């Protein structure tokens, strides 16, 4: 006997139907104290069949109508127009929606929220910021982002290790995470406390490294503390003056190459904040994993990025947010956004690979699907954006063949959105259903 659940657009009907079932409990060690935290959730013991009006095959762009996915445990075992419905399976009808893989945000800041970033890192304790980071992780997950790359805790050190590990053990809800700990910066660099009274000895929001040897030492310490990859500030502070981008570099190519080699030795990679030349060129020459922001890319830089398959991560959403935050900031940031849009069109024409990252944190967590809307607005096709997000994003995060597609053997990270995202990418801003690793996260049972 199988059970079937019908999904209404608001989610209320599905929520009501799911109220009668409980996820299988995870066995706890007998010696655990009574006050120990219980797991957030675990995958259903019985199979789940998701049925929807459509399913998107990301790699081919083909829309399967209708679409079904069979989930057993934390993995997908079948997907297509129809799938086997094992005895006892929970069948969920998601109605007039499109099934997609869970979204990926390759550039987030879980330890930031809207407001003055420099003051947050001074006024808020690391424990307080860690609590806020867990709430940010949940908001991102419920918005459909089932995997993310946290690009620096902005002065909270390795606190993101605790957030990642709590998610991995099921104690809290959140995306699959790749974390960097603190970003790395030079003395007086992009994230240093340059505008405070020096006598107050305000700490940098990043870890200092002023040479190749110091980069290697910082990477080793961060790896010991639990980091998955390395985030380096390669340019800054970045400004527009008279229509010209000023973006001083912080490390030369040889220094960045030393960082890339050390990260690779430890099983990781290097991502850089790099707005423009020559820093973007040095990063490409060094073989970094991604160039984030990538506002200005020279011809040689783009050639290397194509050859090495180094994606640019534009982060339009944060630029748009700052360009409209208030009149004073708009006067500073508006010209930067205009310049970035024009350069982005050149990058598309040049065949630069892209991944999707929003830089969420300075703007509200859970709203970062706006990034994909903007990438389409400024020149990419919806399918190209989804492929950049799900195919390139999975590769960038080191989960290629595990996430980013609705295929047998992949994690059951699945979302449903209303309408047709290949016609209106804005559908991604209205995620109605979220499953991660076989666990229904939205609406919660």
What CATH number is associated with residue 384? 3.20.20.140
Among 359, 378, 396, which residue terminates a domain?
A: 396
What pLDDT digit, counting tens, does each position of 183-231 carry? Answer: 999 998 988 888 888 888 888 889 999 999 999 999 999 999 999 999 9
> How far apart, in whole angstroms, are the C-alpha atoms of residue 293 and residue 41?
35
Task: Assess whether pLDDT exceeds 70 at residue 413.
Answer: yes
Do both 151 and 231 map to the same domain? yes
For residue 203, the model assigns a pLDDT of 83
Pairwise pLDDT comparison (94 vs 11), residue with the higher score = 94
- How many structural domains comprise the chain? 2
Dist CA 112 CA 275 (whole Å)? 20
Domain limit, last residue, from 396, 418, 434: 396
CATH number of the domain that 418 lies in? 2.30.40.10
Is there a single domain that holds both residue 324 and residue 244?
A: yes
Note the pLDDT of residue 117. Answer: 82
Question: What pTM does this model have?
Answer: 0.92
Answer yes or no: do 134 and 165 share one domain.
yes
Same domain, 269 and 333: yes
**pLDDT(22) > 50:** no
pLDDT tens for 247-279 read 999 999 999 999 999 999 999 999 999 999 999
DSSP secondary structure of 307-354? HHT--EE--HHHHHHHHTT-HHHHHHHHHHHHHHHHHHHHHHHHT--B
Same structural domain, 290 and 245: yes
Question: Could you tell me if 325 and 374 lie in one domain?
Answer: yes
Of the pLDDT bands very low, low, confident and very high (cuts 50, 70, 90), residue 66 is: very high
Range of the domain at 21: 3-27+36-102+404-442
CB neighbours of 286 closer than 8 A, spacing ≥ 6?
Answer: 253, 256, 257, 259, 260, 270
| Mean of per-residue pLDDT scores for the chain | 91
Domain co-membership, 192 together with 210: yes
Tell me, yes or no, whether 138 and 267 share the same domain: yes
Secondary structure tally for the chain: helices H, strands E = 13, 22
> Looking at the structure, do residues 377 and 408 belong to the same domain, yes or no?
no
Give me the half-sphere count of Cα atoms (radius 13 Å) on the Cβ side of residue 124.
23
Same domain for 325 and 437?
no
Q: Where are the alpha helices (DSSP H) in 268-315?
A: 279-286, 299-308
CA distances from 80 to 38, 74, 99 (A): 36, 18, 11
Q: What is the mean pLDDT of residues 139-152?
A: 98
CA distances from 8 to 76, 93, 444 (A): 24, 9, 14
The three-class DSSP label of residue 428 is helix
Residue 254 tokens, joined: 């040889």
pLDDT score recorded for residue 31: 40
Inter-residue contact 25 to 48 (CB < 8 Å): no
Query: How would residue 16 be classed by pLDDT, with cut points 50, 70 and 90?
Result: very low
Q: What is the pLDDT of residue 20?
A: 42
Average pLDDT rounded to a whole number, residues 70-93? 97
Same-domain status, 189 and 47: no
258 plus 243 within the same structural domain: yes
Taking residues 339-366, report their average pLDDT. Answer: 98
DSSP, residue by residue, 214-264: HHHHHHHHHHHTT-SSEEEE-B-S-EEETTEEE--BSS-HHHHHHHHHHHH
């Amino acid at each position: 006997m199988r059970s079937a659940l019908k999904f209404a657009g608001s989610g209320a009907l599905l929520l009501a139907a799911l109220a009668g079932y409980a996820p299988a409990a995870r066995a706890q060690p007998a010696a655990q104290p009574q006050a120990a935290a219980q797991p957030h959730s675990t995958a259903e013991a019985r199979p789940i069949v998701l049925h929807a009006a459509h399913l998107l095959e990301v790699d081919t762009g083909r829309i399967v109508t209708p679409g079904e996915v069979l989930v057993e445990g934390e993995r997908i075992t079948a997907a297509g127009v129809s799938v086997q419905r094992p005895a006892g399976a929970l069948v969920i009808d998601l109605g007039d929606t499109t099934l997609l893989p869970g979204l990926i945000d390759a550039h987030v800041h879980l330890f930031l929220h809207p407001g003055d970033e420099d003051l947050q890192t001074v006024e808020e304790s690391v424990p307080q910021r860690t609590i806020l980071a867990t709430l940010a992780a949940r908001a991102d997950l419920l918005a459909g982002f089932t995997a993310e790359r946290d690009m620096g805790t902005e002065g909270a050190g390795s606190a993101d290790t605790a957030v990642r590990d709590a998610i991995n053990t099921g104690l809290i809800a959140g995306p699959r995470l790749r974390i960097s700990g603190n970003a790395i910066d030079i003395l007086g660099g992009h994230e240093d406390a340059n505008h405070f009274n020096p006598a107050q000895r305000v700490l940098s929001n990043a870890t200092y490294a002023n040479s190749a040897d110091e980069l290697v030492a910082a990477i080793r310490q961060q790896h010991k503390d639990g980091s998955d990859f390395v985030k380096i500030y390669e340019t800054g502070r970045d400004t527009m003056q008279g229509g010209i981008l000023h973006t001083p570099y912080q490390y030369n190519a040889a220094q960045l190459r030393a960082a890339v080699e050390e990260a690779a030795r430890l099983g990781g990679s290097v991502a850089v904040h790099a707005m423009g030349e020559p820093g973007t060129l040095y990063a490409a020459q060094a073989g970094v994993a991604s160039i984030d922001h990538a506002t200005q890319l020279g011809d040689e830089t783009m050639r290397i990025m194509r050859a090495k398959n180094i994606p640019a991560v534009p982060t339009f959403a944060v630029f748009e947010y700052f360009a409209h935050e208030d009149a004073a900031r708009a006067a500073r940031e508006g010209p930067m956004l205009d310049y970035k849009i024009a350069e982005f069109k050149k990058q598309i024409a040049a065949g630069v690979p892209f991944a999707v990252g929003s830089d969420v944190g300075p703007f509200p967590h859970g709203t970062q699907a706006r990034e994909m809307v903007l990438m389409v607005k400024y020149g990419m096709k919806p399918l190209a954006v989804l492929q950049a997000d799900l195919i390139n994003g999975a590769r960038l995060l080191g989960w290629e063949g595990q996430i980013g597609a609705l295929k047998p053997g992949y994690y059951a990270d699945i979302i449903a959105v209303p309408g047709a995202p290949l016609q209106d990418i804005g559908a991604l801003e209205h995620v109605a259903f979220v499953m991660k690793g076989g666990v229904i996260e939205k609406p919660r049972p």
